[in-house]
Amino acid sequence: MREKDRDLTTRSGSVATLTAAPRRGSRSIRRYVAPALLTGTVLVLAAVPAGGATAAGTAARTSSARPASPADCANWWKPGPGFDFVAHWHRAGTTSARRVQLRVGRINGIQHGWAHIGRETKRGDAVWMDVTRGGGRWLQCGPFVVTADGQEVSTPAARTEKGSSLRFRACSRTDGKTFCNQWW
């Protein structure tokens, strides 16, 4: 298998290999091509075993999920100024005056989700997003660390669509404590 190929377990339990292929007219964004079995689904680049999900308002156990390689989510859309989005805010928690949010919005007409930390952040705070297809395995995209007090940081955005089985949650580490919201 090539380095860029990834295995994805479908709901039926079968495994399909995904191959990275350049998108027409785009140099920096890639899409993932799969057999007809997966047509129309949202694809996760990698999955790792999970030891147990956390409920809202409880501390997360991060030892059960390994951070993905930066390359695993590097090709996801990076939120920033100058793109079309209308975000819905899903608060993961507020520590002091900091705010960690799971944002869901449209980027150029396509629904995406991403995690964001802002409002009086401190150097060393971190945010990441866990992404799953609904099972006990997930990809952890991040952590992305605040490098200066007051800086706002977002994760790359995972593409999703209405009715998709793809689920995600925002997680943060502030003041030495880890927190994750419920799966969305």
pLDDT tens, the chain, 184 aa long: 333 333 333 333 333 333 233 333 333 333 332 222 222 222 222 222 233 333 333 344 443 455 555 566 877 877 666 555 555 555 555 556 788 888 888 777 888 889 999 888 999 999 999 988 766 778 899 999 999 999 999 999 988 877 788 888 999 999 888 988 888 8
Residue 63: inside a domain: yes
Which structural domain, as residue segments, surrounds residue 33?
Answer: 6-180
Closest C-alpha among 140, 126, 127 to residue 65:
140
What radius of gyration do the chain's Cα atoms show?
16
- Whether residue 1 lies inside any domain: the answer is no
| Length of the chain as a residue count | 184
Residues 138, 29, 32: CA angle, nearest 5 degrees: 50
In a domain, 120, yes or no: yes
State the total domains in the chain.
1
